[in-house]
Structure 1
């Protein structure tokens, strides 16, 4: 928790002020029983109205001071909590952005969402309670005990007789609560994951009429969360009855022996009233302890989950290396005996892959599903590092490139077209925020999307819905390609990014891309696309099955001939058979 609450450091002065104001409230609350005792003994029982009026006005005055201190404390606490929430979310989001892909895969996206939202809110609630009542409650208990001994030591002994039992009980319950609420937060992750998955697949669910089935699956996950919450709160709810029972026994003892002391004349009526007041305040403070333990347990579990993200020191991308020795960018690529395993498996995805590309060369990468095509593409911008072998770009081993410099040379069009909420112009400029409107238009023309944009009511100002929901698959793919072209990259990576285009549009696209002086790696399942490449790399179970031109592979590779023949027999069918 130390890491998480270190983000309160910028607000230390405000925290101190809030705590001082809380102490003002606490002091007033502890002094009031003494004033009441004075009014009873010296005013009411003595029949002195002046004493009653004087100390009554004093009580009213300090109550107003406590009231104002409470209001100011609340304003300050709210400001601190919201500022802390902003800072910690920024820190978490920035840290996630710095993860390598290997590190990112160790955290489910639903879990990261929960940590950035629900977990932050829970720690905010703890801090707010800490500045308002969390510290006040134990201090009120301690202060009441001290003041009780100051008033009447004998009667005060009955107030503290149950303290050891309560301290041990609260310690055990807080440890139990930490375990239970940690489990609750993990269940929240599962619910978030299920919601996220269903929202992404809503069209498929509707098309297959699987709404009821998915509702049943969600109900089972939600039921686990419900039962975890019920179990946690059921145990936590035991705290209040136990605390009240022990305190009520102590209070009864105070009243019983206090009455005897009054009868014998050894105790004043005001002293007994003061002790009873302190006992009632302690009871009220102890009643807060159940809520405090619940909040603390949940916040500690949440803080530990957020800390897991913040303390990651391996698998972090370093963008600030010196770029003074950056080499000229040409786009030459060479793979030398490259093999790759994902961190979570021992099964190789790529095995001893070697090939080289000159600047401006177009390479088509083919292979069955799972043959390692996308993985090969991901190694070039160093989303992952090769397990074995070396990758060279422009004569420099890829690990020696400054990461920022390397990725500035690359334009990537992923397999799944990703668009952001905003205008078409904003999406195109996302690849290069300094690009002019003319540059955006040129890229759109090359990507064969300009004509479609012109037919939209607002043209380049047309708003793109979430994930491009108001665009067709082909339009999203072409916008993604245009976004990559805006960067003017030396290396263009297209990961099966023309699958939704018709034949004429795709042909026009490839013809336009001939003008690009970029080395292109194109993952494709289409023989007609591969024919237009300078070289074709055919992968089979992660190994290079064949490498060469279309004509060379037709002669030398039985697998490639089989693919070509199957697509011809299928009347131009574009699926690559495994």
Structure 2
């Protein structure tokens, strides 16, 4: 909780102002039963209208003051809570952006979305209620008891004896309900996860006619959420009648003994009315306590979930300087490398006995991998599914850190390089195509937001997508649907390649990103890459993509079983020859003729 609410410090002036206004409002309200007792005892019973008008006027003015203070308290509380939520959400997002893949894999995407939205909103509501109501309720109860004792000690004591019972009961309820509401948030993560999967895979679900199955799966997760929520709310809502029972028992005692005290001349009617009035105010405060407890219990669960993200191990590759660079990018500075001149990355890549396994797993994905690529060379990586191809190229931009061995860039250990410099010099096209909502131009410029129109079109032409784009209704200004649903698979792949090329990278990584291209288009693309000075690392299953490569790496179950040029592997690797023969010589010769 301390970690979370430390973000409220920036808005402490507004928070203090909200509390001060609330205290003024509360003080006025607590004085009103005392004023009423004076009107009854000194005015009405004594038939003195001047006293009635005097204290009645004071009562009216105090009501206006309480109203104004309440409005101002709500204004300042709203300002503090909204600002708090903005800062916390912003910091959470920055934190997630700084995660390594290892840390990121600890949190399901649906859970992170819930934490950045629902949990932060819950904390925001709690801050508002805390400044406006949560602190008010105990103060109303405490103030009412004190004022009841001031008015009449004996009658006030009857109200006082109910407090220890209420405090112990509420402490148990809050502790128990916070655990239940944490379970609710976990169930909500599950529901969001199912929704996310269904919306992402809606086409596949319809093709396989699995709508009924998915509806049943959603109903199952939703049912678990309902059960957890009902269990939590049952506990918090049950507290309201129990609290009312305890407080009403106190009021009954005040009425009973008040009659006795009045008959004995130990108390006046006004004093008895005042004590009852304070008791009723206590009931009013307690009636709101069940909903406040539910909110507070949810806040405890939400703060724990948010704290888990905030306290997760930060990426080892993020420094204070890089965090500032991230802030600059948010203000509109490009994400590509600003390193130019003799110190700029040239593109030499070397693996020396590199081994790797994913965090939390003892299974080796890569074992003792060694090879060297000179600047400007083209490397093709082949291998069966699961042989470690994507894992290998993911180590170059340090998406993960290798377990053993050294990865050098331009002869320098990549772990010693500034991560912004390293990644800024890399153009990466992932295996899974990802486009963003916006125009074609926006999606290409996403790789370099300061790219000129000519640079964007040149990158598109190199990626063999320029003619397709110019044929669209609005050309480069054509809006793409979510994840580029209005484009074919090959068009989306070429757009992502253009996005990488517009960075003018020193190292270009194509992770099986030409799989949807026909042989002619792929040949033209590879020919364009020849004229670029960047080092190209291409994961492919096509022999047609490897024949002109300077180096071919053949992986099998995480081991490098062969490396060399096309000619060398044709004579030295039986596996490579089988792949060549299975894919047909005609396609290879066709691509060679294009080149």
How would you bin the TM-score normalised by the shorter chain? over 0.9
Counterpart for residue 199 of structure 1: 199
TM-score norm. by structure 1 comes to: 0.97
Counterpart for residue 423 of structure 2: 407
In the alignment, the residues of structure 1 paired with residue 467 and residue 585 of structure 2 have an alpha-carbon distance, to the nearest angstrom, of: 34
Tell whether 2:473 aligns with 1:451.
no
Query: Which has the higher mean CA deviation after the structures are superposed, 439-448 or 556-565?
Result: 556-565
Query: Which has the higher mean CA deviation after the structures are superposed, 376-385 or 319-328?
Result: 319-328
2:504 corresponds to which of 463, 472, 488: 488
Counterpart for residue 593 of structure 2: none
RMSD of aligned alpha carbons: 1.7
Tell whether 2:74 aligns with 1:43.
no
Secondary structure in 1 aligned to 2:6? helix
In the alignment, the residues of structure 1 paired with residue 182 and residue 383 of structure 2 have an alpha-carbon distance, to the nearest angstrom, of: 44
Secondary structure in 2 aligned to 1:132? helix
Counterpart for residue 347 of structure 1: 363
Query: Which has the higher mean CA deviation after the structures are superposed, 336-345 or 48-57?
Result: 48-57
Counterpart for residue 538 of structure 2: 522
Counterpart for residue 541 of structure 1: 557
Q: Deviations over 1:158-215 (max 9, x none)?
A: 1122221111111111100111011111111111111111111011111111111101
Q: Which runs of 5+ in 2 are unaligned?
A: 323-338, 589-595
Offset of residue 420 of structure 1: 1.2
In the alignment, the residues of structure 2 paired with residue 178 and residue 327 of structure 1 have an alpha-carbon distance, to the nearest angstrom, of: 55
Counterpart for residue 253 of structure 1: 253
Residues 299 and 326 (structure 1), Cα distance of their counterparts in 2 relative to 1, 3 Å cut? farther
Query: Which has the higher mean CA deviation after the structures are superposed, 70-79 or 484-493?
Result: 70-79
1:99–1:317 CA contact under 8 A, matched in 2: no
In the alignment, the residues of structure 2 paired with residue 363 and residue 3 of structure 1 have an alpha-carbon distance, to the nearest angstrom, of: 48
In the alignment, the residues of structure 1 paired with residue 413 and residue 303 of structure 2 have an alpha-carbon distance, to the nearest angstrom, of: 40
Counterpart for residue 432 of structure 2: 416
In the alignment, the residues of structure 2 paired with residue 551 and residue 562 of structure 1 have an alpha-carbon distance, to the nearest angstrom, of: 14
Secondary structure in 1 aligned to 2:288? helix
Residues 365 and 199 (structure 1), Cα distance of their counterparts in 2 relative to 1, 3 Å cut? same
Offset of residue 321 of structure 1: 5.8
1:320–1:404 CA contact under 8 A, matched in 2: no
Offset of residue 325 of structure 1: 12
Offset of residue 532 of structure 1: 2.4
Residues 174 and 570 (structure 1), Cα distance of their counterparts in 2 relative to 1, 3 Å cut? farther
Q: Which runs of 5+ in 1 are unaligned?
A: 573-578
TM-score norm. by structure 2 comes to: 0.94
Counterpart for residue 464 of structure 1: 480
In the alignment, the residues of structure 2 paired with residue 509 and residue 472 of structure 1 have an alpha-carbon distance, to the nearest angstrom, of: 17
Q: Deviations over 1:290-334 (max 9, x none)?
A: 112111110011011111111234434325569899844221111
In the alignment, the residues of structure 2 paired with residue 160 and residue 346 of structure 1 have an alpha-carbon distance, to the nearest angstrom, of: 63
1:326–1:405 CA contact under 8 A, matched in 2: no
Counterpart for residue 283 of structure 1: 283
2:519–2:544 CA contact under 8 A, matched in 1: no
Counterpart for residue 591 of structure 2: none
Q: Deviations over 1:348-397 (max 9, x none)?
A: 00000111111111111111111100000100000111100001110101
In the alignment, the residues of structure 1 paired with residue 576 and residue 321 of structure 2 have an alpha-carbon distance, to the nearest angstrom, of: 43
Tell whether 2:131 aligns with 1:131.
yes
Q: Superposed, which structure 2 residues align to 1:385-404 within 5 Å?
A: 385-404=401-420
Tell whether 2:374 aligns with 1:363.
no
In the alignment, the residues of structure 1 paired with residue 9 and residue 526 of structure 2 have an alpha-carbon distance, to the nearest angstrom, of: 56
Secondary structure in 2 aligned to 1:106? coil
Offset of residue 70 of structure 1: 1.0
1:21–1:73 CA contact under 8 A, matched in 2: yes
Secondary structure in 2 aligned to 1:531? coil
Counterpart for residue 95 of structure 1: 95
Secondary structure in 2 aligned to 1:329? coil
Counterpart for residue 378 of structure 1: 394
1:432–1:486 CA contact under 8 A, matched in 2: yes
Q: Deviations over 1:397-430 (max 9, x none)?
A: 1101110111111100000111111111111111
Counterpart for residue 3 of structure 1: 3
